[in-house]
Amino acid sequence: MDYQNEVAPEQTDELGLPEAMDKKEEKKRPRFSMWKWIFFILFILYFVLTSYRVPLLITLGEYLIVEHKVQKADLIVCLGGKGVENALAAIDAYKEGLAPYIFRAKELKPDGLDYLKKRVKSYPSDYDLFILVIEGFEIPEEAILSSEERVSSTIDEARLVRKFVLDRGFKSLILITSLTHSRRAWQTFKKVFKDDNIKIISLPSHYQLFNPKDWWTKRRYTKELIIEYQKLIYYTIAYLI
């Protein structure tokens, strides 16, 4: 027998008929293509986001807020940023007798300020505005503490406050900032004070009208929340807060 010239038998179906080539290829194709899986997953995500959109948005807003039970401390720390909102909350805390002192750091001078003050000598800094508010509520001058060292970020403020607190022998502080900034501020201070056994109480300002239940309906707070999450992610990566 000539095996070299022998042709391989053609495959047949159940009836003994030759199978068509396109039918063979069809058997090799997966039942669901990759694109079908992608569209299926996207549909599920759309369904979840549509059905649970409001609860998810509320959770995003609530996560940023860290608020502890009202307690007395040695020092009230009023963070910069939201000048009016934070100052009013710090004044309330002082008036309620929660601490005998208010600390407020001074921010870095903006570019061009020295030139501006040559022409507008009474131009106020953020710290000047804070003092103006404090004086309007008749807070005694000796209750206001600060430092000549200037800061430009939350991590700078935390490091400055740490040096100040340790020098004065304080054991506890109340952290006053905006609602949306309260988680990042609290986590930053916890990181900076991690080896010092200092009690940190977060009492964010409710003069800020941010509401976690409807923030996405207001452009101002939508923008603020997005920026704060960006900063929170950056602080988590850069400073491991």
Q: Per-block average pLDDT, block size 10, for the chain (241 residues)?
A: 50 52 52 72 71 87 98 97 92 98 94 88 89 94 96 97 97 98 98 96 97 96 96 97 93
Task: Say if strands 172-176 and 144-145 run parallel, antiparallel, or are unpaired.
Answer: unpaired
Question: For position 125, what pLDDT does the model report?
Answer: 87
Which residues are registered as beta bridge partners of 107?
A: 151
Res 199: pLDDT? 97
Sign (positive or negative) of CA dihedral 75, 79, 84, 85: negative
What is the model's pLDDT at position 131? 94
What local confidence, expressed as pLDDT, does residue 3 receive?
46
pLDDT at 105: 96
Kindly provide the b/e burial profile for residues 75-84, where b requires at least 16 CB atoms within 10 angstroms of the residue's own CB.
bbbbbbbbbe
Per-domain residue ranges of the chain: 66-239
Taking domain 66-239, whether its CATH number is 3.40.50.620 is answered by yes
Q: Minimal CA–CA distance to 178: which of 71, 51, 75, 89?
A: 89
Q: What angle do CA 188, 193, 194 make, to 5 degrees?
A: 95
In this prediction the pTM is 0.80
Q: What does the DSSP 8-state code read for residue 12? A: B
